[in-house]
Structure 1
Amino acid sequence: MLSKTTEYALRAVTCLAGQAACGKTPSSAEEIAGITKNPRRYLHRVMQNLANADLVESRCGSQGGYSLARSAEAITILDIVDAVEPLGRICNCPLNLQSHTSLCPLHAELDRAYAATEEAFAKVTIAGLLNSTNPIIPLVE
């Protein structure tokens, strides 16, 4: 359901939030790529999308790198998905059939699923993921 690009963005933001929680900010693209196992060459595009959505910021120079533009408590999974590849809601007939003045049962059901997914993603913050009671810590072996 989610593309590799979205997966890479979710990993990158989670990584930055984890680094910030440990007092390590900013983080270099090299560091992020290593921790998240994101392809280094592709990471630049992902980070650019996140910066354009005001989720991350970058600084140049020897003390530069990437950091979160807002707190992990204020960033949801939906924010990240929307920054990279928003879920495609279905507002009208994808086939442009003139007789379909409203969604047919198939596309209405698909759109309900997309709406439910958006709602679920909007409820989960990055801080919530990092503070989970699950013994498995994101991005840590």
Structure 2
Amino acid sequence: TKSLKDIAKSKVNPNFKDQNIKQQAGFSAENKYTARQNAENIINGKTNRTIRTDDLGRVNDPLFDHVEIDSSGNIIADSGLQMKFVGSDAKSALSKLESKEYQKYIDANAKLSVPSDFYNGIKEEAQKKIKILQNN
């Protein structure tokens, strides 16, 4: 249950500096997403809450970063979400998300969350690929 303040205080191993910084950015993004989703639910009068799987004791869950829980604390089926910050642009992100490495998320019916600045580009690239496949 690391807060943003705790994450900022995390030590960076000089031998793994880039990896450590990316991990800290990922943890920060998870916290921000959780807070934003829960704030929206509260504003909209919804009782469901988003929770990080790490905070449920499922540290480094292989499929999900977040799940939704109901007002009794029960996990809502098919609410699992995995955040992915991959690729240097939308096209390369889609290419990575289509790889066999990410098939496990699709098989588990996990929602994938991508950076908002990649989202429209990923959709456009996917539409292009769909059209090409439909024309073959």
Give me the TM-score of the superposition, normalised by structure 2.
Answer: 0.26
> Larger radius of gyration, structure 1 or 2?
1
Structure scoring higher RCO (CA < 8 A, sep ≥ 6) equals 1
- Higher share of residues assigned strand: 2
**TM-score, reference length from structure 1:** 0.25
